[in-house]
Chains A and B, each alone.
Chain A
């Protein structure tokens, strides 16, 4: 089920995501291959053990599960299961599968494949997706069109969880053939595309799954890896690629003004926060954190850094998610109040701290540049320190960071995982901020087991309010996926969760 609160964003999402559908002219002939450039390659296309968004986003076009998240990112839709029943106690779910489904290598999908796939997901407890299948006790496949889940406890988000990439059906025969070690090169599954060729760090080539049950437009999808943003733009301009991702925000308008190129920000379930390390002085003082919240000018950040392609955020839950609460106040600049708060906190003359950024992340760098000045206006000195990625992570893991910009990209529209990350202290030190609030931990636990939608909403509302009250972190904005593509491209869909839906895309000659 989906909540009403996310409907507005999903509507917007679907509109923008299916680009230029209005002018779908029948005159053009399709190219053989659709080429896009992205900055980073996938690392691991094992549906279970992968970790990066760049893996999951692609996997969405390769693998399918029982159900899937709709293209708007907010609804759960049937996929390989055409319907399902839930037992009275909510612990047994029976899925009725589509008949005659075949893997991309032509072998039929059997119950054994389903069982194998799920059991593998449940076995890999080091996978970052393990939480999504935590509630499943066991699975069985009485026949090739029925699949049954037995839960350990009632799980309100089980259907959304089943949309995750680790619970997709994969060919057991193929797995047995290549073995665990080579499985990161990708599974054989039932999605519209399969992996035809993968030169790591260079490109990933997908080809149409001939056994796919639905229409697929392009024969091949080429995902090139081009790390430099400028080079990506030049490639688009020269026509070498049809679409590029992660366009620098301040170039969107410029690209848009060029002939034959459209650039825009696709709505994304992505949020950036200023994350403050409560364990470091003076951030242990709530007033100081509030002062910072009052000192930053988020509209300016969105204007300068995102060229307007973003939305101010108010809480830790991205607005693409269920249970997002609009009533939580948005951070608003108030220099006087910030100064006042600082005085109350005992820092009338301000203080200085280390503002840590990861090298090579231009958005982080730009935000830092602006915030440095904004904070300076209330007397706080931010010393920007650039860490190279791994060093950053090391410092991050050892509580060494004072203050940094964190980013969360949702993989499902259920906010459970993000709430876990913030409020299960033992798991992640509350996003490494060191914030510890037992009450919130308890609330989160309750929300996890609550079947009643309204009650869940209430729990999440409370969490969001406390999050604001304690000034745990400062939400900045909900981002977009900045892309640019040639006008030859129609119907490119990337859901707000980032999933590519390559079966829709059309690229004309």
Chain B
């Protein structure tokens, strides 16, 4: 199928999902107990103050009206402004988005750099010592709590060896990069386990396919076969899994963000839920949904480019 038309169709398909998610967030967030007035005003608020605040934020407006206003603003790319920070939501999000994206990139980087070779090696040396070591290591990665690993790494590389900052998002790119290394490794450790296992199985499967044997019969060198045939083909399904993880990373790094004190979207979202900062939650989820859908689209397209068998529909 024509790629462009495919993209357009996928974008059109996103609209209902997107729409339903907005409704869902909108309703859900207002269904849960806790009202912004109480959280914003704190312990000492009197009944009158609470009342006044509620009036101000339109707490008593019917839900559909609130939603309507939300949609109307949305059409002007206005996500409203944060109750807590009194700042346009879009600014809040845009401020934190780079951190989250940076973190995601770092995680993917380490997953790829460490996980791919290990997974490949485990598959090549199937049921030999390296395979066992790598598999046990990956199991460890899967079942060690992130915050624990994170704190341990900080203790080791932040405090004892002072190689990386414990927490310094900083202002310059090198500072940002330094700040992202340890969190990237920590989060990658868990994901890597999945990637390694998946890649290993793929390598085992692909090594046994007849096109690899056929390639050998052509007299190609082992290195070329490993790289061009086994690794490349084994990677395809793994990338899909990786992309699923990337999507969930964008919204779910809260623990890493907390441990490493990164000013990312996860922390913002969680804090906003905790303080019932409605517009931030709505805006955040919206941005998140769009990002996830677009990432999915991109992976599908990339996948179809890498694997000609996959048709886009």
Contacts and interface: CB of A to CB of B under 8 A. Distances in A.
Task: Indicate if A touches B (C-beta under 8 A).
Answer: yes
Interface of A: 43-44, 51-52, 126, 128, 181-182, 184, 199-202, 224-228, 230-231, 234-235, 237-240, 388-397, 406, 417, 421, 426-428
Nearest to B81: A181
Given A240-B165, A389-B275, A394-B34, A128 B261 contact: no
Nearest to B276: A390
Contacts of B158: 234, 238
Nearest to B150: A231
Given A43-B85, A201-B271, A390-B275, A427 B47 contact: yes
Interface of B: 32-36, 38-50, 52-53, 84-87, 92, 95, 151, 154-155, 158-159, 162, 165-169, 258-261, 263, 267-268, 271, 274-276
B151 A391 contact: no
Given A128-B45, A228-B258, A393-B34, A234 B155 contact: yes
A235 B166 contact: yes
Contacts of B85: 43, 200-201
Contact of B263 (A184, A201, A427): A201
Contacts of B95: 199
Nearest to A407: B43
Contacts of B44: 51, 128, 417, 421, 428
A200 B34 contact: no
Contacts of B87: 200
B48 A202 contact: no
A201 B267 CA distance: 9
Contact of A395 (B33, B48, B259, B276): B33
Contacts of A228: 258-259, 261
A390 B274 contact: yes
A226 B155 CA distance: 16
B166 A240 contact: yes
B115 to A, nearest CB: 26
Identify the interface centre among B40, B42, B166, B276: most chain A CB within 10 Å of its CB.
Answer: B166
B53 A126 contact: yes
A394 B35 contact: yes
Identify the interface centre among B46, B47, B52: most chain A CB within 10 Å of its CB.
Answer: B46
A42 to B, nearest CB: 10
Given A43-B85, A228-B258, A230-B151, 5 more contacts: A128-B42, A230-B259, A234-B166, A238-B165, A397-B50
Contacts of A52: 42
A238 B162 contact: yes
Contact of A126 (B32, B52, B92): B52
B86 to A, nearest CB: 5
**Which 9 residue pairs across A and B have the least CB separation, nearest first?**
A390-B34, A393-B38, A202-B263, A394-B34, A51-B42, A394-B33, A235-B166, A234-B166, A226-B261
22 contacts: A44-B86, A51-B40, A52-B42, A126-B52, A128-B42, A181-B86, A184-B86, A202-B169, A231-B167, A231-B260, A235-B261, A238-B165, A240-B168, A388-B274, A389-B274, A390-B274, A390-B275, A393-B39, A394-B33, A394-B38, A397-B35, A427-B47
B152 to A, nearest CB: 11
B33 A391 contact: yes
Contact of B166 (A200, A231, A390): A231
Contacts of A235: 166-167, 261
A51 B86 CA distance: 14
A226 B274 contact: no
Contact of B159 (A238, A390, A392, A427): A238
B274 A397 contact: no
B92 A200 contact: yes
Contacts of A227: 258, 261, 267
Contacts of B169: 202
A391 B273 CA distance: 11
A126 B263 CA distance: 32
A364 to B, nearest CB: 14
A21 to B, nearest CB: 28
A393 B92 CA distance: 25
B166 A238 contact: yes
Contacts of A394: 33-35, 38
B105 to A, nearest CB: 20
Nearest to B46: A427
Contact of A51 (B41, B46, B159): B41
B258 A390 contact: no
